[in-house]
Amino acid sequence: MSIDLRIAGGTVVTPSGPVVADLLVDGGRVAGIVAADVAVESARIIDATGRLVLPGMVDVHVHTREPGYEHKDDILTTTRQAAAGGVTTIFGMPNLKPPTVDVATLTDVFDRYASSSIVDWNHNPAPTKFDQIGPMAAMGIRAFKIYMVVDTGRSYPHPAGTGIHDHGHLLQIMDEIAKTGIRFIVHPHDQALMDYIEGEVLARGDNTPQGYASAYAAREGVIWDTAIDVVLRLAEASGCPVHIAHIQTRRSIEAVRRAKERGVDVTCEVNHWAPFLSTWNDVETLGPYALSYWVPDDNRAAIWEGMRDGTIDIASSDHAPHTREEKEIGWTEMWSAHTGTPGIQYYYELMLDAVNRGELTLDRVVEMVAEVPAAKFGLAGVKGILEVGADADIVIADLDHEWTITDDDVLSKIGWTPYNGRTISTRIERTLVRGREVYADGAVVGEPGYGKLAAAPAERTAELAAKEGN
């Protein structure tokens, strides 16, 4: 037997748990997990002694900003950050210019990924054109995405064409998506309640980061809880698989837990800012650079609990870069600032750092960043797992490497990170996509256009079906 690559001496994190073994790679797939004394001819060997060998992250919530907002980031710069952060598959979001809402705009985005992406990719178009749902599903997408929100005081990051607010329209869309079997990502938001709550804050003249943060968390997160209750009930009524973005309140987590117990096909995600960047101190010291949202302490405790017990299935970055100019206005006019924070470059390392701090188990982290997103978004057995036959999407990490994140390390066009100055205890050393290094020894080495559409080819689907039948 001759193979392309042997990753030797590391601790391989498999679906059955960590095992000290060598990982064999051939033809872009995992070819074996063997003991060190098993003789195999290999074209190349990577020494991973003392390191973890992990599946690459499957990040189903990434804002690439291309087309339309390339001054913030683009597909190439986003996937450079992905490679450095151990993310081997990204799913882009539709809030672009023009928004991704039909076959024509989806084809354009696919072409852009194919020419620029360093890692594998997919894209989540908005299903706001009813007659385009089936044709877009046929193009190989693994999810749709909508926003239940209209921006106040700005037209971005939630542009026209990507939102559904009427509940009847939402149910109609769910009925149609249910026919495809594809998961439906929903940004929950009760617009009517938010209009009232925002109006009260702005009437007081409080257009500060603190006012904004308080409004979105007002009354224990009522705008999130009521919207998620609606989404869960409509998912149950339609049979549409749904995925809740931005989970951040105790009541919402409890609602998802109950829905799962009833058999509703629902997943939910935690974004980097919720466990790691959402305290009141962050709001006061970083202001617009920390918003996204404020998560009060009781809700943050519920998030960690949900991460540990599996109610929160998935860790997705919600990578959302904006320039300093677009953030700075927020110190005095927060409702005019672009909200969202960059996160794809450091999320996996922050999660592994949480393992070292005893806040999460290693198995739970791997499930959240890799195994579950792959399984729930139609890539089971292909992505997010280190087993024979799966794509060789691999991360080699040192869990005993203390270092400090700085703006100097940032690979985004915006040149800043809200984690500037934060010291963590883990470091990703290498990232491989389908057996080829895209990040190694502190440098991105992947080539633009190497990334491919992340989908389960017909022959792989047949292999998996046959395997399940045995």
Which of the residues are catalytic? Answer: 318
CB-neighbour burial class of residue 235 (10 A; exposed 0-12, middle 13-18, buried 19+): buried
117-136: string of b/e by CB count within 10 Å (b at 16+)?
Answer: bbbbbbbbbbbbeeebbeeb
* Contact criterion met (CB below 8 Å) for 123 and 152: no
Output phi, psi for 451, to 5 deg.
Answer: -60, 145
* Contact criterion met (CB below 8 Å) for 130 and 172: yes
C-alpha distances in Å from residue 150, one per residue of 192, 331, 360: 10, 22, 35
* Contact criterion met (CB below 8 Å) for 363 and 308: no
DSSP category for residue 72: T
Instruction: Tell which residue, 104, 76, 327, has the closest CA to residue 92.
Output: 76
| Cis status of the peptide bond prior to 275, with omega within 30 of 0 | no
Query: What's 248-316 look like in SS3?
Result: CCHHHHHHHHHHHHCCCCEEEEECCHHHHCCCHHHHHHHHHHHCCCCCCHHHHHHHHHHHHHCCCCEEC
3-state secondary structure of 370: helix
